[in-house]
Amino acid sequence: MLAFQFSVGSSPWLQQSSSSIGSREIQCVRRSCKPLVARKLHMSQHHDAKSEYEPISRRELIIKSLALAMLGIANTARPGLADPSTNGYETAIVAGGCFWCTESDLEKVKGVISVTSGYCGGTEPNPSYELVSRGKTNHAESVSVVFDPQVISYEELLDVYFHTINPTTRDQQFCDHGHQYRTAVFYLNEEQRKIAESIKGKYQQTAFKGQKVVTEIVPATTFWRAEEYHQDYYKKQPQLYSFYRFNCGRDQYLEKQWGTKHDAVYEQ
């Protein structure tokens, strides 16, 4: 049977802070829903030499000012994953908005072997977070889930997945907006497509009756592994992750929708 449990951890507030990465100056103001943050953009030699400032999201702030700087990982995605079928395992690819959150949720599911953050749904080769997060490609932040079908079936895994998202918002998940944050099931074969359509239809007629479920059921394109600093971000930077997740409102919505907590756990 499927049981859903979760406990919302504390979300420590970040004190007002500032950091600088090269020519980029970043400020974060405590408790601001949209932090008063600016990014300095230097114009190229073909334009006026003046600098411009534009808003920067909290999530981009965290990525640019801490994760990338601290870990020093090259901003290049890596294609593909090893074939899990050699161990009798199967793969599912889904998009649930922020891949930090989707990875965190699905890694806790019994029978899941591994979850990898990445990009899927586009045709552009070698996408980077810099491009995807700005909507410059057609990719969505996604995860590739390797699971043991002897422990959890594809259908059961998608059941858990639908308990971790809001499938009624188009091109948005909570505080993240844009086509890159759409929800989607990227099926790998006809059997997965049929199961995904069935699960989507079930939730359309039950939990989300009266609302339109807009989660896409589409064939998978190449899955590109995201930059290393994104992998297991919730483990590498638990305080920043909790701060982001709490202020994004994901768990608050899921508690209201399902009446349970959010760390989805599969139990026999």
Q: Which residues are catalytic?
A: 98
Pairing of strands 183-187, 176-177: unpaired
As given in the structure block, the two tokens for residue 149 are 């079908």
| CB-based burial, 77-110: b 16+ in 10 Å, e otherwise | beeebeebeeeebbbbbbbbbbbbbbbbbbbbbb
Please state, in angstroms and rounded to a whole number, the distance separating the CA atoms of residues 101 and 143: 10
As given in the structure block, the two tokens for residue 237 are 């930077």
As given in the structure block, the two tokens for residue 115 are 């979850």
Please list, in sequence order, all residues whose beta carbon lies within 8 angstroms of the beta carbon of residue 209, skipping any fewer than 6 positions away. none
Task: Report in angstroms the alpha-carbon separations of 146 from 91, 95, 109, 113, 168.
Answer: 5, 15, 11, 5, 26
